[in-house]
Amino acid sequence: MNKPTPSLMSPMSSWQRLTAHSGEWRLCLLANRWAARRWATALFSTVSRLGDGVFWYSLMAVMALFGGGRGLQGALHMLATSGIALLMYRGLKRWTRRPRPFREHEGIIARVPPLDEFSFPSGHTLHAVSFTLVALAYEPLLAWLLLPFTVLVGASRVVLGLHYPSDVLAAGVIGTALASLSLRLVPGVSLFAL
């Protein structure tokens, strides 16, 4: 079953209607089939695994140990942001209950096991975006590393069959809003400092 169809016993959910009408499941299917290549699965699985926290907590440790007082402040800011992001995305997932693409569409394969049941929003992407923006406010020279990694994290979630593109885009917007708000609360720290 590629396209969700209503049955007499269970009417289509709002998510199924959105997915069916938007056609975004087709993008998931194309990305997921492309990832059937061994190197693509290996690359995006590794990026996804690093995005689980290993990369970010390592970055926080490096900033705290080698970045002086400002690096320590940045690491603590990222840690606080991660707690809020965790509460936000878990609450949204429980509230929205959007099924993952591989559960709704026969041709989409979960290339790695999901960390939880629901799809919206992408927790990996929400964390990656918020961490990147907060880290760059403290250490702008890390942009060469953090920006491509964040894009790869978001892409990995679709390619691996775990999220729809709208899950990733929404998580990017939420992560941006969270980071922006948290940066406004800390005097002397800004992404746009001269």
Provide the residue ranges of all domains of the chain, joining segments of one domain with +: 41-184
* Gap between the Cα atoms of 70 and 59, Å rounded: 14
pLDDT, residue 114, reads 82
Tell me which of 168 and 30 has the higher pLDDT: 168
Residues pairing with 63 in the sheet = none
Report percent pLDDT > 70 for the chain. 88
Which segment, 16-30, 34-48, 95-109, 151-165, is predicted with the most confidence on average?
Answer: 151-165
Query: How many Cβ atoms sit within 10 Å of the Cβ of residue 16?
Result: 19
Q: What are phi and psi of 118, to 5 degrees?
A: -105, 165
pLDDT, residue 14, reads 60
- The model's confidence at residue 17, banded by pLDDT at 50, 70 and 90, is low
pLDDT over 80 (residue 29): no
* Gap between the Cα atoms of 10 and 176, Å rounded: 37
pLDDT over 90 (residue 131): yes
Amino acid making up residue 171: A
pLDDT, residue 7, reads 40
Q: In the CATH hierarchy, which fold is given to the domain comprising 41-184?
A: Vanadium-containing Chloroperoxidase; domain 1 (1.20.144)
Give the C-alpha distances (Å, rounded to integers) separating 155 from 19, 45, 47, 170: 18, 11, 10, 13
Give the C-alpha distances (Å, rounded to integers) separating 21 from 4, 55, 111: 10, 37, 25
Tell me which of 163 and 25 has the higher pLDDT: 163
pLDDT, residue 28, reads 79
| Average pLDDT score over residue span 135-153 | 96
* Gap between the Cα atoms of 131 and 75, Å rounded: 9
pLDDT, residue 21, reads 58
